[in-house]
Amino acid sequence: MHIRDLIQFLGELSENNNRAWFVMNKPRYDILRAEFLELVGRLIAEIGKFDPEVAGCNPKKALFRINRDIRFSHDKSPYKTAFSASITASGLKKPSQGGGPAYYFHIDASGTLLVAGGEYMPPPDRLRTIRQHVIDDAAGFGKMLKNKKLKDAFGDLQDEGKLSRPPKGFAPDAPHIEYIKHKSFIVWKETSLKKKFPADLDKELAAEFKNAYPLIAWLRQAK
């Protein structure tokens, strides 16, 4: 994966986010997308060594499209300025599709690599199932949070969009109530790729995802 070329392309796209520019630069995009697809394929193979449930994931289905859905957006820019992928056991990317816990990463126009694991903004029914699982498996949830590799790599669960009060049906003194208020059950971290271009990005990503695996495994038990 030519990371420098990808960042350069995305940077130019962010400054020229229109169809005419994209059509003129489509050959560049096609080459970079093919390289990104190869990267995701190798990454799936690496993740499969510690998480066999994703070993059969189709890399093409893991990739997000570059086109933005602008139907309900005030921002009418037609293209995303990041290459991204979400690897799940179900093969479904989006939480609304019932994709379940995911290994997600993207590289954006600023050269930022974001690595994440878990479930981001799952739909209401799924979110309630996860919250109930926190109650039913309070000890297991607490053990997962204290996992050294998870904690050292990512810190605590992210609390973006956290409720100010316990959700309906959950007592204020319920075990782990502050986590039950979360709308996502996810960990993530960002690093810059502008000064460092890893030779084996797939292996570095897999190592990060292996650190996130305790959360992935715990979430899969929520049924």
Mean pLDDT (the chain) is 94
Number of structural domains found in the chain: 1
pLDDT score for 56? 87
Dihedral-angle region of residue 98 (phi above 0 means left; psi in -120 to 50 means alpha; beta otherwise): left
Q: Which residues of the chain have pLDDT under 50?
A: none
Pairing label, strands 102-108, 112-119: antiparallel
pLDDT, tens digit, 9 for 90 and up, residues 67-91: 998 887 888 899 999 999 999 998 7
pLDDT score for 75? 83
Contacts of 3 (CB under 8 A, 6+ apart): 107, 193, 197, 198, 201
pTM, entire model: 0.93
- The domain containing residue 55 runs over which residues? 3-220
DSSP bridge pairs for 108: 82
